A and B are shown apart, each in its own frame.
Chain A
Amino acid sequence: AQSVTQPDIHITVSEGASLELRCNYSYGATPYLFWYVQSPGQGLQLLLKYFSGDTLVQGIKGFEAEFKRSQSSFNLRKPSVHWSDAAEYFCAVANYGGSQGNLIFGKGTKLSVKP
Chain B
Amino acid sequence: GAGVSQSPSNKVTEKGKDVELRCDPISGHTALYWYRQSLGQGLEFLIYFQGNSAPDKSGLPSDRFSAERTGGSVSTLTIQRTQQEDSAVYLCASSLSSGGQYFGPGTRLLVL
Contact = CB atoms under 8 A, between A and B. Distances in A.
Q: How large is the interface on A (under 10, 10 to 19, 20 to 34, 35 or more residues)?
A: 20 to 34
Q: How large is the interface on B (under 10, 10 to 19, 20 to 34, 35 or more residues)?
A: 20 to 34
Interface string A72-115: 00000000000000000010101100011111111110000000
30 contacts: A32-B99, A36-B103, A42-B105, A43-B4, A43-B91, A43-B103, A43-B104, A43-B106, A44-B91, A44-B103, A49-B100, A51-B99, A90-B43, A92-B43, A94-B99, A95-B45, A99-B99, A99-B100, A100-B31, A100-B95, A100-B99, A101-B48, A102-B45, A102-B48, A102-B56, A103-B35, A103-B43, A105-B42, A105-B43, A106-B42
Interface of A: 32, 34, 36, 42-46, 49, 51, 90, 92, 94-95, 99-108
